[in-house]
Amino acid sequence: MAEYDTLMVEQRGGVTLITLNRPKALNALNSQVLAELLAALAAFDADATQGCAVLTGSEKAFAAGADIKEMSAQGFAEMYGGNFFGGYERLTQTRKPIIAAVAGYALGGGCELAMMCDFILAADTAKFGQPEIKLAVTPGMGGSQRLARAVGKAKAMEMCLTGRMIDAAEAERAGLVSRIVPAAELVEESVRTAQTIADMAPLAVLANKEMVNAAFETTLAQGVQFERRLFHGLFGTADQKEGMAAFVEKRPGQWTGK
């Protein structure tokens, strides 16, 4: 498996565990992290033995944002001309699911990175925020858009305009995270959840991810139509035959991914 400077990557059964590893900078995201993360996720997506990824950080910080030291001296020409961090959106094109396992700070780009994953499991120590306004800028990796969709206008607006952080309990109430886990169990529980997904029929996993994401891009009628077409399409797979036969025969399904 490839070695990275800013990430640790390991496979646990069908789960790829990716750990951001810039502890001295609280996992601040720079161009190297971006390049390595995209490479690690591309390798995960292409590996037929892997069914779900977990992206995590340290106990203190999932990621404290984009690297302020890397950005501070840049001008408009470098940022706009070089499409600074523009490649990050490619992360959302990963076809298999990615769970963000967040402990400690997920701020600015760190919160945005977590929201680009398919769902967030939060440690009870997690803190989410978009503090860019305090640096006289704004979110730049989709935060204003994804936060507004996740928690609604009022809370997103307050968070972006004041930079106020929310804790795990508030994040769960607001619908930003799927659930809260004790910090000491975060990685194990996230890997367990990811393995549950990795054990499902692979084509059904891709289809479920694709159709939930379609809810954010289409009208209700188009989304429902898209769902029905994918549902119909899965009846052309061997795994659908196996899954329904296994239910009737009261045994676990054996998937071929076909």
Beta-bridge partner residues of 17: 10, 54
For the CB of residue 49, give the shortest distance to ligand CO8 in the complex, in Å.
Answer: 33
Catalytic residue among 53, 66, 100, 194: 66
β 119-123/166-167 pair status: unpaired
How many other C-beta atoms lie within 10 A of the C-beta of residue 157?
14
66 has catalytic annotation: yes
Nearer to ligand CO8, 116 or 205 (CB): 116
Position of tokens 């690297």? 67
Catalytic residue among 36, 53, 106, 112: 112
Question: Cα(19)–Cα(121) distance, rounded to whole angstroms?
Answer: 15
Nearer to ligand CO8, 65 or 202 (CB): 65
For the CB of residue 258, give the shortest distance to ligand CO8 in the complex, in Å.
Answer: 40
Start-end of H helices in the chain: 31-46, 68-71, 76, 109-116, 143-151, 153-162, 168-174, 186-198, 202-214, 220-233, 238-248
Which residues make up the interface to ligand CO8 (CB under 6 A)? 25-26, 28, 64-69, 84-85, 105, 107-109, 131-132, 135, 139-141
CA dihedral sign of residues 23, 12, 172, 140: positive
109 has catalytic annotation: yes
Work out the angle at residue 170's Cα, subtended by the Cα atoms of residues 164 and 176, and round it to the nearest 5 degrees: 95
Question: Cα(251)–Cα(258) distance, rounded to whole angstroms?
Answer: 19
Nearer to ligand CO8, 105 or 255 (CB): 105
In Å, how far are 72, 102, 210, 240, 255 from 176, measured between CA atoms? Answer: 29, 12, 19, 32, 32
For the CB of residue 40, give the shortest distance to ligand CO8 in the complex, in Å.
Answer: 19
For the CB of residue 70, give the shortest distance to ligand CO8 in the complex, in Å.
Answer: 7
Nearer to ligand CO8, 66 or 187 (CB): 66
**For 32-51, what is the HEC assignment?**
HHHHHHHHHHHHHHHCCCCC
Nearer to ligand CO8, 87 or 236 (CB): 87
For the CB of residue 141, give the shortest distance to ligand CO8 in the complex, in Å.
Answer: 5
Catalytic residue among 104, 108, 109, 243: 109
Catalytic residues: 66, 109, 112, 132
